[in-house]
Amino acid sequence: MFPEFAAPQTPKRPHSVTQVGRTRIDDYAWLKDDNWRAVMKKPAALSGDIRAVLNAENAYTAAMFAGTKNLQAEIFAEMKGRLKDDDSSVPSPDGPYEYGHKFRPGDQHGVYIRQERGKPESQTVILDADALAKDAAYFDLGCVVHSDDHAILAYAIDKQGSEKYTVTLINLETGAPLNVTIENTTGDVVWSQDHATLFWVERDENERPSTVFRQNIKTPGSKPEQVFKEEDPGFFVGIGQSDNSSFIEINTHNHTTSETWLLDAPDAEPVLFCLRRDGVEYDLHEHGDYFYILTNEGGATDFKVMRAPITARGVSTWEAVITHRPGVLILGLETYAGHMTRIERADALPRIVVRDMSTGDEHSIEFDEEAYSLGLSGGYEYDTPVMRFSYSSPTTPGQVFDYDMATRERTLRKTREVPSGHNPDDYHCERLSITARDGASVPVTLIYKAGLNKDGAAPLLLYGYGSYGITIQAGFRTSILSLVDRGFVYAIAHIRGGMAKGYQWYLDGKMDKKHKTFDDFVDAGNALCEAGYTSRGRLVAHGGSAGGLLVGAAVNQDPGLFAGVIAAVPFVDVLNTMSDESLPLTPPEWPEWGNPLISETDYDRIAAYSPYDNVTARNYPAMLITGGLTDPRVTYWEPAKWAAKLRDHQTGDAPVLLKINMDAGHQGESGRYDSLKETAMEYAFAVTVTGAG
């Protein structure tokens, strides 16, 4: 176990908050810097008393982990050894060229390359991300997008972790930078078909993506021009292109409602396709004279495909193409000149369906493993019979296929290499269905060493998320093998709040049903104990962001189930965050959680499960809590406040450990190797608290 060091005690400064007739006292509200916006831009602006608390917590955690230094190094070396040092993507064709990404030995971020089509010997580096990241404490590369005439490259960089990206342009022939720099963007840009006009989204004073700009960068003296501004703080703005690149698309959305505006020329004004309606989502895919529309309009809970003439406006012009099938969730759609592909999920397993647009005939691509993940990889080209997809399972390393949609010929383009070696037969993957307390059947994916003796002795790491409809796929993850090889069972609980079993599975785990997300996770853990995969007090719960909310609520509900909890950038101060409309994500997230500023019902519901608000005197298991100082999604004070309150109420001896990355945001350490160090620390924690070998 961990050594015994005196833990820091964060001072209490009681702060009273009254809203909708309810009053709460927050002893640690002061950890939120009044000047938090400035801290996001410049971490040195953090006030001294708050910095002292975070530094003390980091020092304590470092001291407590000192004895695991060798274990962390072993785990890191194992995980690094499973990464191909000079790995590369399969180049994606676009006209006369192919574009891709590769790593040189030792690279953290790699290089972006271009080669003449079918001529790998002509490969050249068009962007050196490792050179750009040199001497940066944090580095994240957003978009890397070339113009359609292959003359200019736009790329975006964030060096704070605050997700505010600076866009730079370079000449692709010479590598010389253009005299254009765009600040305060979301990190995404779109080129218009004139090869000169660039579109991007900027953030407002509350860090929300709200305003679309464009600029003709080839016209001397041109200035950015505002194209669109979203006035509702509850909606975020994004940009894209239609599948055939005929339109620039401006998308504005929250978690349950969307709206699209179209521009058919670089200098055109945006035209509304269909007015937003609460709870209705739609996504456009251009093909010929029609838009094919993926939508839940008309009560299509698991979505359907409609179509409407490109010139039509309003839902009255839509006609059905693929009707709604309850329990078969359509996840995504892509159109090509002769085909349309969609990825859909039924019974918690995905499949790809290909439709011949001239005949309407369909066929599907499926796999026969017990659990697996699939993904459509997209591409630059529209007029092609070939689409690309990826496949993996917990025991099968990732594969990339090119698939001829006309001939149905499947070509394996790449299999992920594991340099240190990997034998799938050494492991067993299993898909279970456990029965939750209300009778629902919850899928759980397991991977463990072949020959596991189900006598309850094995430690188990239970991972979950359970919000926003996000589904954790059963894919190949080399990092978890460091736990499995040490005797762990690794389990993913596909709980309500995600969409493993369709969109209704998501609806059944939000708002007034949110408690079912947490119940499912606890019930899955107890069911795995009853089945002999582990036993109570041998589990480690692991979740990040909204998954941190999950494990925080679960440990409040049943602390004795767990040996430890890993909560990465955890969203745990739900009531306070959803009551602060100045925070970047709060208004867009009211449809997900409710608005406690105006609703007594929402207030009471959130107050009943918010991990921070439900900490009480009890014997908590060991807790490892992480955060990032410049995180705009889950602000640093959430994990800091939670750790302080947990420690103050801890009646047992297990430590509460907090690590705040003072140079990063929501994603933690950047770089393919540096990020493994954080994982190694988490896994060393799991091994230590369970006493695994």
Catalytic residues, by residue number, are 545, 631, 666
CA nearest to 294, candidates 286, 284, 302: 284
CB-count burial class (<10 Å; 0-12, 13-18, 19+) for 602: buried
User: Taking phi first (over 0 means left), then psi (-120 to 50 degrees means alpha), and beta for anything else, what does residue 124 get?
Assistant: beta
H or E segment at 12?
none
What's the burial of 318, exposed, middle or buried (CB within 10 Å: 0-12/13-18/19+)?
Answer: buried
Q: Give the number of other Cβ atoms within 10 Å of residue 660's Cβ.
A: 24
Are the C-beta atoms of residues 227 and 266 closer than 8 Å to each other? no
CA distance linking residue 337 with residue 173, whole number of Å: 30
Half-sphere exposure of 411 (CA within 13 A, CB side): 10
What CA–CA distance (Å, rounded) separates 115 from 99?
7
Q: What tokens appear for 667 in the block?
A: 């994603």
Q: What are phi and psi of 287, to 5 degrees?
A: -155, 115
H-type alpha helices, 485-628: 503-507, 515-530, 546-557, 574-577, 586-593, 600-609
**471-475 long-range CB contacts below 8 Å, 24 or more apart?**
471/345, 471/498, 471/499, 471/500, 472/498, 473/350, 473/373, 474/371, 474/372, 474/373, 474/393, 474/394, 474/429, 474/431, 474/445, 475/372, 475/373, 475/392, 475/393, 475/394, 475/398
